[in-house]
Each structure stands twice: as structure tokens, then as C-alpha cells.
Amino acid sequence: MAKVRDQMTSNVVTIDTGASVVDAAKTMIQQEKGPLPVMEGDRPVAIVTDRDLVAHVIAEGRDVRSISVDDVASRDLVTIGPDQEIDEARRLMAQNELDRVIVIEDDRLVGIISEADIRSDEAPLR
């Protein structure tokens, strides 16, 4: 059975704790990435999504210049280890209604695995 490390993305685009929501939005656009792990050193402490920016900043009419990612990011991280099986990643995504899961080893971010990563490795239907 395939392991998470076999299909995860290792080069993860992140943002530092305390960064502005403007910086988060720019990073998402420039890097063409969705959710960004929010980092404190080499340890992920939260995750910020484009939906967080829309729901907690734009929809509420808040001043983007005064809000950091810490104010809107989710601290309820769903994580998986790199040596766990792909089926466990699928289960976690389905159970938590997510399209990606952060991969952690020894409390450090080592990757991220998405539904697309898993689907791209599946054999085509015949």
C-alpha cells in the first residue's frame, strides 16, 4: 500500500504567524496555492484558506490593513504522518470535509497531501 510520503508535496508554500491577510492573499495568488500553513518557526500552528479571507475579512467589512492571518486562520489542524497509508489520508479528508491534510513528522511540517495528489496516482478506470 502506498504511503503518504510517496504522494505528498514536499515543497509547501507557507506563511509566518503574524503576517498580514494581504500578504497571505498575495502569496496564494503569486504561488497559485490554496490553503497556507501558518508557521511558527518550522512548526505549523494554523492554516489559512482563501475562504477564511473572504468570510472573516471581506464579508465582515474589516480593514485588511489591520488584520493578521492569526486573526482568521484555523488552529484546528488535521495532520497525518508521512509513513501512514494513503487510505488513512483519504479517510481523514472525508471525515473532516477537507481537500488536503498537513503532513507532520516530529512536530515539523514535511509536506501536504491533497485529494488531487492521491487521484493523480490512481490507475485510470477502464
DSSP track, 13-59: --EETT-BHHHHHHHHHHHT-S-EEEEETTEEEEEE-HHHHIIIIIT
52 found inside a domain: yes
Query: Residues 109, 44: contact at Cβ < 8 Å?
Result: yes
| Number of structural domains in the chain | 1
104 found inside a domain: yes
Instruction: Flag whether pLDDT at 99 surpasses 70.
Output: yes
pLDDT in tens, 12-59: 999 999 999 999 999 999 998 889 999 999 899 999 999 999 988 888
126 found inside a domain: no
| Residue 102 backbone dihedrals phi, psi, to 5 degrees | -75, 140
Instruction: Domain of residue 116: give its range.
Output: 4-120
Q: What's the pLDDT score for residue 65?
A: 86
pLDDT averaged over every residue in the chain = 91
What residue type is 99 in one-letter code? D
Looking at residue 37, which CATH number applies to its domain?
A: 3.10.580.10
Instruction: Flag whether pLDDT at 121 surpasses 80.
Output: no
24 found inside a domain: yes
Q: What's the pLDDT score for residue 40?
A: 95
What is this structure's pTM?
0.87
26 found inside a domain: yes
